[in-house]
Structure 1
Amino acid sequence: MNRRRFVLVGLAAVSLALGGCSTGSGSSSASSGSTGADTSLSDVKSKGELVIATEGTYKPFTFHADGSGQLTGYDVEIAQAVADKMGVKATFRETQFDGIFAGLEANRFDMIANQVSINPQRSAKYDFSTPYTVSSGVIVTKADNNSITSFDSLKGKTTAQSLTSNYYTLAQKSGANVEAVEGWAQAIALLRQGRVDAVVNDKLTYLDYIKTNPDAGLKIAAESPDKSENAFVFRKGSTALVDAVDKALAELQADGTLTKISQKYFGVDVSK
């Protein structure tokens, strides 16, 4: 009798164990299915707002206007226009760039609008919209300099570059003697003083500068064939939200809004 009782107890334990495993497996599967579902767009629609991360200190893309202190800029205006097309409110969260991707991954915002360039490393970790900015590297010289007409003609010339910039490497590879500076402002000052022959930098930086300094006596002497594309950034798997943003961007391109915003900040259309 003791033996029979032992067997029954043992069978009950096995039954409970199997039941527990089955329940656990079902729960895990449901959770996985829930996690795998793309709710990126429905989440934005349900709360009625698109939460956007941006620095707020990167002029002319995202900065505070003099006087009013209002957040504005090329990226800010385009992101606002996208939200309007989607029928939701644009809510901006100002975040330092060194923490902006971590904040996206932690679900503190839905997308990043901060002139983020598309590259293979980032594309492996994040989703991107279609580009809303297309730019390239340019050689800037004084307007009366006719000796520099290409990157090859930088050989033996002196350029001013920031040590941490990709353009430092580009100038070196082109054979230039590179003078290290802290940034664009110092580089362009040396160029205008005639202490260097050229500056290699991003075309957008030059366009922004020349728009506010039209009498600087500078020109673009040559442009790199390699283009840099910048876009909005999303958490990986946000397909529905990316599609909705891309649709809005296509409409803004078609109705001329992107061109209008580009010309406001740069004097030319940099959106394509």
Structure 2
Amino acid sequence: MTRRTLSSLAAVASSAVLLVACNQSPTTDNAETGSSTETSSDLLTRINNGGTINVGTEGTYPPFTYHNEQGELTGYDVEVTRAVADKLGVSVDFKETQWDAMLAGLDSKRFDMVANQVSLTTPERKAKYDKADAYSWSGAVVLAPESDSRFNAWESLKGLKSAQSLSSNYGELAEKYQATVVPVEGMAQAIELVKQGRADFTLNDQLAVLDYLKKFPDSGLEIKLVAPADEKTGSGLVLRKGDDEVVAKLNTAMQELHDDGTLTRLSEEFFGEDISQQ
């Protein structure tokens, strides 16, 4: 699972999900995961009958899931989930929880699914959870001064100074392209060094950078390079494995949101450009 790249600009947090059963269905033990698998799906029944789905989210991770000035829960992931619920003809009840408890909440059936910029990137998690079709895509980008014309290819990073956290995968990526890493504590400090000319560029997550540029349009910085599509990671609604019919319904709803322009509109509202396309 990946996400945490916005943590330097705005404190990153955490979120979880779990199923609240209306009619408890019989279960069988899963020897590999130690969890239980329903022989019939209460979630599917609720969706088919226009019931309520319970969705875990942080509520403290802008612009994905947070509370606005009126104290209302909103954010890209939140509004996408509401749009999916509308397509399914169900109500949605968000369960706010910390990130570290997110998958535990899903395992314990506190909610049905998670909407919190979740990507399944490890074999263990892919074996245990399902992810509906992605509603956002992101990868590494190069952020540098608008006036700097040196960035015409990833190979052009060689020999330049990159402001990076030493423990981050972006620091490793900078070293891969033979840039000189200037150590920083996080994204906010990295951006300041680039603006001051003490570093040539910084590498970070595309969504984190788009959020920064939307908030600070006069920063004098711009995205110079974007990771190719096959290196991007998609985030989507995550649920416990075994509800294939539910995943199919979620995918149908997500495709409709692509087709009618809802995902593009929400992307541009929260990020200034379409992040729903790989």
Shorter-normalised TM range: 0.7 to 0.9
Matched, 1:207 2:201: no
TM-score w.r.t. length of structure 2: 0.82
Q: Gaps spanning 5+ residues in structure 1: where?
A: 1-29
**CA deviation vs aligned residue, 1:58-107 (integer Å, no higher than 9, x gap):** 11111111x21111100000001111111111111111111100110100
* Deviation, structure 1 residue 45: 4.8
Q: Higher Cα Rg: structure 1 or 2?
A: 1
Q: Gaps spanning 5+ residues in structure 2: where?
A: 1-25, 30-36
TM-score w.r.t. length of structure 1: 0.83
Whole-Å separation in 2 of the counterparts to 1:164 and 1:261: 33
* Shift in alpha-carbon separation, 1:133–1:40, aligned structure 2, 3 A: same
Matched, 1:184 2:187: yes
Q: Contact conserved, 2:43 with 2:53, CA < 8 A, in 1?
A: no
**CA deviation vs aligned residue, 1:200-258 (integer Å, no higher than 9, x gap):** 01111111111121111112121222111111100011212211111111111111111
Give aligned-pair identity as a percent: 46
Q: How does 1:75-114 map to 2 (within 5 A)?
A: 75-114=77-116
Structure 2 counterpart SS, 1:117: coil
Partner AA of 1:247 in structure 2:
T
Q: How does 1:115-264 map to 2 (within 5 A)?
A: 115-121=117-123, 122-225=125-228, 226-264=231-269
Q: Contact conserved, 2:50 with 2:91, CA < 8 A, in 1?
A: no
Aligned residue-pair number: 242
* Shift in alpha-carbon separation, 1:79–1:164, aligned structure 2, 3 A: farther
* Deviation, structure 1 residue 43: 4.0
Structure 2 counterpart SS, 1:91: strand
Partner AA of 1:269 in structure 2:
D
Q: Contact conserved, 1:38 with 1:240, CA < 8 A, in 2?
A: no
* Shift in alpha-carbon separation, 1:194–1:237, aligned structure 2, 3 A: same
Partner AA of 2:111 in structure 1:
F
Task: Please report the RMSD computed on the Cα atoms of aligned residues, expressed in angstroms.
Answer: 1.9
